[in-house]
Amino acid sequence: MAKNRKDIENDILIEERIGEEEDYEEYARLREEREGIRARRSRIEEENERRQNAEFERARKRKAEEACAREEEKKWRSYEKRKKKKHPVRSFLLALLVVIVALSGALLIYMRSLLQTVDSVDLENALESSISPQVRQDRTMAGYQNIALFGVDSREQDLLSGDNRSDTIMICSVNKKTGETRLVSVYRDTLLNIGGGDYRKCNAAYAYGGPQQAVAMLNSNLDLNITDFVTIGFEGLAETIDALGGIDLEITEEEMEYMNSYMDDMYYEIGKEYEEVTDWGMQHLSGIQATAYCRIRYTEGDDFRRAERQRTVLMLTMEKAKKANPVRLAAAAGAVLGRTATSLSSTELMLFILRARMMDITESTGFPTEEDRMFATINGESCVVPYYLTTNVKKLHRTLFDQDEYEPSPTVEEINENINAYVN
């Protein structure tokens, strides 16, 4: 049967569609092949780049290791050359170090030998009853080392016996943590209970019972916990100042005249040679000149001014000690130790001398205070009366230990009433 026109046209359309589909499939196949080729090329390029980078990193590390090896070899050769050739500066420094160590050892041995010449006194038993229970339990005071300093005019060079009234009485309070040091002079004519209810000038305690009674007197009258003392004669003070190279001090014309008079007395008392002071103003004083300055009490201010002079000389001497080299410090120690009596052990005394470089005196005053004292004749003696001892003790504790709210012990209250009875 012959196909009609419409059938023929449909057959033609079907053939065209089939051709178009075959062409598309071929196109898709070719495209996939091209994309696969490009992906393989990309992977190949990435792999080549990775290999090149790895090779470059290996080459860099190899060069760095070779450079490090060359540097080490260079250092070793330099070290070998230094070993073969002695360095003059280094040899000198090494020799100097050996000398310093040897000198330090010699100075230590010398200091230890000097400590054997010190008069040693045990105060522990003598002071048992002089420190009140209230003071023993005081935590603030436990943070301080309190030492009594006595200066005596001993013509017989015996610091522990004889008629040694202490011309100098000081309380030296050292903060155990900071090294901060405070000084308080107790005026020698102060009326206090020197022991057993005997009310006299406080400097009599040393003459009656030595340092044991003098320290006990300070503890019981002033609510203190002093367990150690240091006593030095005037000759020892003079030689110590000389060993440190003297001190610089401003003096008045009146003081100059008294100093020359005292030096003349000391020449006859202890045979100490001296040179007169011929000018006033700022002067460089030798040991005996400075010691004579400490003894002046007849200018304005009387004994109060003398105690101030003593504190000034002590502070200047400590400043010189802080700046002294080891040899000069050892010489100063040699001058003072042979003329010293103390309750400190050899080790404690050595540590105290070494700590002098770190001690910083921040407070210096006198007891009793000007506004809380009066003068009176007691038992035939002209005395400084600490009127209201309790008030003075409160101020003392504020000065030494920063205790603003301190309340005196019953013992001090009782002594206060007895003292006031003499002048009321």
Burial of 326 (0-12, 13-18, 19+ CB in 10 A): middle
Q: What percent of the chain has pLDDT over 70?
A: 75
Residues 362-390 pLDDT 10s:
888 999 999 999 999 988 889 999 989 99
pLDDT attached to residue 24: 59
Q: Which domains does the chain have, with CATH numbers?
A: 116-423 (3.40.630.190)
Mean pLDDT, residues 156-162: 62
Confidence tier at 357 by pLDDT (50, 70, 90) = low
- Buried-exposed string 327-341: b where 16+ CB fall within 10 A, e elsewhere: eebbbbbbbbbebbb
Given a cut of 90, whether residue 2 has pLDDT beyond it is no
CA 92 from centre of chain: 33
Q: Is the pLDDT of residue 83 over 60?
A: no
Give residue 96's pLDDT: 42
The pLDDT tens digits of the residues spanning 4-51 come to 666 666 666 666 555 555 555 666 666 666 667 767 777 777 777 777
Mean pLDDT within 58-87:
68
Helix, strand, coil percentages in the chain from 3-state DSSP, rounded to 5: 60, 15, 25
Considering the entire predicted model, what is its pTM?
0.70
pLDDT at 44: 76
State the pairing for strand pair 119-120/381-385: unpaired
Question: What pLDDT is attached to residue 303?
Answer: 85
Residue 360 pLDDT: 77
> Whole-angstrom Cα distance, residue 254 to residue 277?
11
Q: Per mean pLDDT, which range of 93-97, 151-155, 315-319 is the poorest?
A: 93-97
Q: Are the C-beta atoms of 366 and 184 separated by less than 8 Å?
A: yes
For residue 288, is pLDDT > 80?
yes
Position 413 scores a pLDDT of 96
The pLDDT-based confidence of 399 (bands split at 50, 70, 90) is very high
Q: Is 378 exposed, middle or buried (0-12, 13-18, 19+ CB in 10 A)?
A: middle
Amino acid symbol at 155: R
* CA R_g for the chain: 46
pLDDT of residue 318: 85
Q: Write the pLDDT tens digit of every residue in 297-355.
A: 888 888 899 999 999 998 998 888 888 877 777 777 777 776 778 888 767 776 776 66
pLDDT at 104: 42
